[in-house]
């Protein structure tokens, strides 16, 4: 069965440390660059619902801009007592210099 | 180099010497260093021992809640402590939460420099940031009701501000603590009347003038919870006397009994252990070549070649030359001016209360020991490795602390040399037994070696001085 990947933006738009939100089929998704590796996670903090866009990305973790809870961008796992609920993560691929995200493809481990 | 040196096995004899004057037979650190090819800096060519007494140290200092509380009030709330490294908070908005007992401090890189705040909301007290460690924010917003401060500490917004006419922004700035910077470390002090960090550091800045730890970055950060008092933990790392029994595998290539112990002022002590020489305790001393072969500890990742001791050379010279090259290449920094001693010896400083630091290049650790929450018999032991900053390009992001479980081996830390993991396992394995033994003992205190354990006595004396100062202030009230 084939999954639909949506082209979101060119790789060049997302330097290390940057993140941008995008809507796909009603999903609010944050696509970001963690030290050269791209990731896609839900753009809503599981703590108290703040968008994660623009949160500082360091060491493979994104810090929520509102209260600072940190989430692993690969696994979605949060840190500490306010980060108990993980973020949903999305499958992402790069093709022809374009970042593509899918809302239904399984996330590679 | 040394012959097998006969040593008495039974104590109790001053042998005609004043207390504290006896030394291990064999060449001293100063004898050995004097023969080095690339000579050691002046600061390593001096010794500074002082006899500080020989009475026992009471075990209740390590077990009693009362002593623990006194330390919280009169020691931890009065002394300068390093909270984090500057590279933990490289950009405006980065912060680090440092906790000591029930105190929690939020160290923030702001537009006005590094500031430290009491980590507690001015509304109803909630910690602004719940856990220790690194993070980033554009403003400081409390998770409970959303009161928000700027990074610089000004009250910025309060939800339903109409309900708080009595909250004047001028009086609701986040209260600050004092901050001091030295060697790339951010220090804080909970006492607004404490002397300056500069005076607190005593001889340290002078000793470290050519060892700028500000030019290092944190490569690795490990933590382990130890089932002992924080002083029990620390004291296991400021004497080298235990090497003989606890780390017999290190006897090859360590002048273990010929370690130099120095005490300075109220806050600083050091030991200086030479590498590349035989232990005076070894039955069969090694050849210079065998010494080189045995010295490859600390950074085995760089060993890529045979090391041959040439005619008329010592193991120390060869090893230092080798490490200068490989470590210089690996970290992209020029080590050509670094002396043999600084390359291969173990030089360890203690800054009261809880900072232990190694200026050397091949074993570049910093230790920190802290009581854990409110338990006198548990502590957190952290180890950081500080590597030279690359001459070009940026260092990697500062790592999060890897926590090694209480019952776990340090070998779970992938980035740690297995040889060192074994050493730390041996060190930490003694501590539960020692802490429990404090309570099991009929004898009320521990007995210290006059020379090799003088740093422990010096340290405990400093603890006493802080507690005594606290008491005399209480009485004057
Ligand atoms: S909403 Fe993200 S940390 Fe609170
Ligand atoms: S306790 Fe912080 S906003 Fe209420
Ligand atoms: Fe040890």
pLDDT in tens, B378-422: 999 999 999 988 888 888 889 999 999 999 999 999 999 999 999
pLDDT in tens, B431-457: 999 999 999 999 999 999 999 999 999
Alpha carbon distances (Å) from B269 to B20, B76, B456: 16, 19, 9
Residue contact A47–B143, C-beta within 8 A: yes
pLDDT in tens, B71-116: 999 999 999 999 999 999 999 999 999 999 999 999 999 999 999 9
Q: What is the pLDDT of residue B303?
A: 56
Among residues B347, B346, B194, B182, the alpha carbon closest in space to that of B269 is found at: B347
- Determine how many CB atoms are found less than 10 A away from the CB of residue B418: 12
pLDDT in tens, B302-321: 555 557 888 888 888 888 98
Alpha carbon distances (Å) from B419 to A31, B250, B300, B426: 42, 10, 9, 11
| Disruptive mutation site among B95, B148, B397 for chain A (greatest number of A CBs within 10 Å) | B397
pLDDT in tens, A56-96: 999 999 999 999 999 999 999 999 999 999 999 999 999 99
Could you tell me if B251 and B275 are in contact, meaning their C-beta atoms sit under 8 angstroms apart? no
Any idea what the CATH number is for the domain that residue A49 is in? 2.102.10.10
DSSP assignment of B260-276 equals EEEEETTTEEEEEEEES
Tell me the H-state helices in B256-314: 288-294
Calculate the average pLDDT of chain B.
Answer: 92
Task: State the closest ligand 2 atom to the C-alpha of B125, by its place in the atom list counted from 1.
Answer: 1
Give the count of domains, chain A: 1
Which residues of chain B does A67 touch, with a Cβ-Cβ cutoff of 8 Å? 129, 141-143
| Disruptive mutation site among A37, A58, A72, A81 for chain B (greatest number of B CBs within 10 Å) | A58
Give ligand 2 pocket residues (Cβ under 6 A): B 121, 123-124, 126, 142, 144-147
Q: Region B142-166: what's the mean pLDDT?
A: 98
Query: Does the residue A19 lie in any domain?
Result: yes
- Who's near B123: CB < 8 A, 6+ residues apart? B142, B144, B145, B147, B158
Q: Region A22-50: what's the mean pLDDT?
A: 97
Among residues B100, B132, B104, the alpha carbon closest in space to that of B117 is found at: B104
pLDDT of residue B1 exceeding 70: no
Q: What is the pLDDT of residue B301?
A: 55
* Residue in the block written with tokens 């994104």: A62
Query: Does the residue A11 lie in any domain?
Result: yes
pLDDT in tens, B35-57: 998 999 999 999 999 999 999 99
Query: Does the residue A22 lie in any domain?
Result: yes
Confidence of residue B2 (pLDDT cuts 50, 70, 90): very low
Interface pTM, i.e. ipTM: 0.90
Query: Does the residue A82 lie in any domain?
Result: yes
Angle between helix B418-429 and helix B431-440 axes, rounded to 10 deg: 10
Which is more confident, B251 or B340? B340
Of all residues in chain B, the one with the smallest CA distance to A79 is B131
Which residues of chain B does A56 touch, with a Cβ-Cβ cutoff of 8 Å? 91, 93-94, 136
DSSP assignment of B63-101 equals H-HHHHHHHIIIIITTS-EEEEEGGGS-STTEEEEEEET
Which residues of chain B does A82 touch, with a Cβ-Cβ cutoff of 8 Å? 130, 143
For residue B143, give how far its alpha carbon lies from the nearest alpha carbon of chain A (Å).
6
Nearest CA to ligand 2 atom 4: B145
pLDDT of residue A22 exceeding 80: yes
Which residues of A lie closer than 8 Å to B, measured between beta carbons?
A: 35, 47-48, 55-56, 58-59, 61, 63, 65-68, 70, 79-82
Share of residues in chain B with pLDDT > 90 (%): 73
CB-neighbour burial class of residue B462 (10 A; exposed 0-12, middle 13-18, buried 19+): buried
pLDDT in tens, B323-362: 888 888 888 888 888 999 999 899 999 999 999 999 988 7
In angstroms, the CA B101 to CA B114 distance is 23
Share of residues in chain A with pLDDT > 70 (%): 97
Range of the domain at A42: 5-104
Among residues A95, A94, A91, A102, the alpha carbon closest in space to that of A5 is found at: A102
Q: What is the pLDDT of residue A3?
A: 79
Q: What is the pLDDT of residue B336?
A: 87
HSE value, Cβ hemisphere, 13 Å, CA-based, for B94: 18
Q: What is the pLDDT of residue B287?
A: 85
Nearest CA to ligand 2 atom 3: B145
Query: Does the residue A29 lie in any domain?
Result: yes
Query: Does the residue A33 lie in any domain?
Result: yes
pLDDT in tens, A2-20: 679 999 999 999 999 999 9
Q: Region B273-290: what's the mean pLDDT?
A: 82
Among residues B428, B415, B422, B348, the alpha carbon closest in space to that of B381 is found at: B428
Query: Does the residue A109 lie in any domain?
Result: no
pLDDT of residue B206 exceeding 70: yes
Task: State the closest ligand 1 atom to the C-alpha of A82, by its place in the atom list counted from 1.
Answer: 3
Which tokens belong to B143? Answer: 């998770």
In angstroms, the CA B70 to CA B101 distance is 12
Query: Does the residue A65 lie in any domain?
Result: yes
- Determine how many CB atoms are found less than 10 A away from the CB of residue A76: 18
Range in B186-190, B285-289, B447-451 with the lowest mean pLDDT: B285-289
- Determine how many CB atoms are found less than 10 A away from the CB of residue A50: 16
Which residues of chain B does A47 touch, with a Cβ-Cβ cutoff of 8 Å? 143
Confidence of residue B279 (pLDDT cuts 50, 70, 90): confident
**Is the whole-model pTM more than 0.90?**
yes
**What domains does chain B contain, in order, with CATH numbers?**
29-59+214-468 (3.90.380), 81-198 (2.102.10.10)
């Amino acid at each position: 069965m084939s999954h639909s990947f949506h082209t979101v933006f060119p790789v060049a738009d997302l330097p290390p440390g940057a993140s941008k939100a995008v809507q796909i089929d009603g999903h609010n998704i944050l696509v970001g660059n963690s030290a050269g590796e791209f990731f896609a996670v839900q753009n809503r903090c599981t703590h108290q619902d703040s968008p994660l866009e623009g949160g500082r990305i360091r060491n493979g973790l994104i810090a929520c801009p509102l209260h600072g809870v940190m989430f692993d961008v690969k696994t979605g796992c949060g840190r500490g007592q306010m980060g108990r609920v993980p973020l949903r993560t999305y499958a992402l691929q790069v093709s022809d210099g374009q970042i593509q995200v899918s809302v239904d493809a399984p996330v590679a481990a | 180099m040394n012959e097998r040196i006969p040593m008495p096995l039974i104590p109790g004899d001053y042998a005609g010497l004043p207390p504290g004057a006896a030394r291990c037979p064999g060449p001293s650190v100063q004898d050995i260093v004097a023969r080095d090819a690339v000579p050691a800096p002046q600061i390593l060519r001096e010794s500074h021992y002082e006899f500080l007494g020989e009475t026992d140290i009471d075990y209740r200092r390590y077990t009693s809640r009362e002593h623990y509380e006194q330390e919280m009030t009169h020691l931890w709330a009065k002394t300068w402590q390093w909270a984090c490294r500057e590279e933990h908070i490289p950009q405006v908005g980065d912060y680090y939460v440092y906790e000591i007992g029930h105190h929690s401090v939020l160290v923030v890189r702001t537009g006005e420099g590094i500031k430290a705040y009491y980590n507690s909301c001015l509304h109803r007290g909630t910690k602004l940031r719940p856990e220790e460690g690194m993070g980033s924010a554009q403003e400081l917003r409390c998770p409970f009701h959303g009161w928000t401060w700027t990074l610089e500490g000004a009250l910025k917004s309060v939800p339903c501000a109409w309900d708080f006419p009595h909250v004047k922004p001028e009086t609701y700035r986040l209260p600050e603590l004092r901050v001091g910077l030295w060697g790339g470390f951010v220090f804080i002090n909970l006492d607004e009347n404490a002397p300056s960090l500069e005076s607190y550091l005593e001889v340290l800045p002078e000793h470290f003038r050519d060892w700028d730890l500000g030019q290092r970055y944190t490569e690795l950060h490990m933590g382990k919870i130890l089932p002992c008092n924080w002083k029990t933990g620390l004291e296991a790392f400021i004497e080298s006397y235990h090497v003989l029994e606890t780390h017999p595998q290190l006897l090859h290539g360590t002048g273990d009994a010929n370690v130099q112990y120095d005490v300075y002022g109220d806050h600083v002590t050091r030991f200086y252990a030479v590498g590349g020489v035989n232990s005076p305790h070894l039955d069969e001393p090694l050849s210079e070549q065998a010494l080189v072969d045995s010295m490859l500890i600390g950074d085995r990742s760089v060993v890529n070649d045979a090391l041959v001791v040439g005619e008329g050379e010592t193991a120390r010279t060869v090893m230092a030359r080798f490490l200068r090259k490989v470590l210089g290449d690996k970290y992209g920094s020029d080590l050509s001016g670094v002396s043999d001693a600084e390359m291969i010896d173990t030089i360890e400083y203690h800054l009261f209360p809880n900072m232990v630091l190694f200026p050397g290049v091949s074993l570049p650790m910093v230790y920190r020991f802290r009581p854990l929450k409110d338990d006198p018999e548990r502590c957190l032991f952290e180890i950081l490795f500080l590597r030279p900053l690359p001459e070009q390009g940026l260092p990697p992001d500062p790592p999060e602390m890897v926590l090694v479980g209480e019952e776990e081996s340090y070998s779970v830390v992938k980035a740690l040399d297995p040889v060192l993991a074994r050493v730390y396992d041996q060190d930490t394995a003694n501590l539960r037994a020692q802490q429990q033994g404090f309570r099991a003992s009929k004898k009320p205190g521990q007995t210290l070696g006059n020379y090799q354990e003088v740093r422990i006595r010096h340290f405990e004396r400093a603890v006493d001085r802080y507690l005594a100062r606290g008491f005399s202030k209480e009485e004057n009230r």
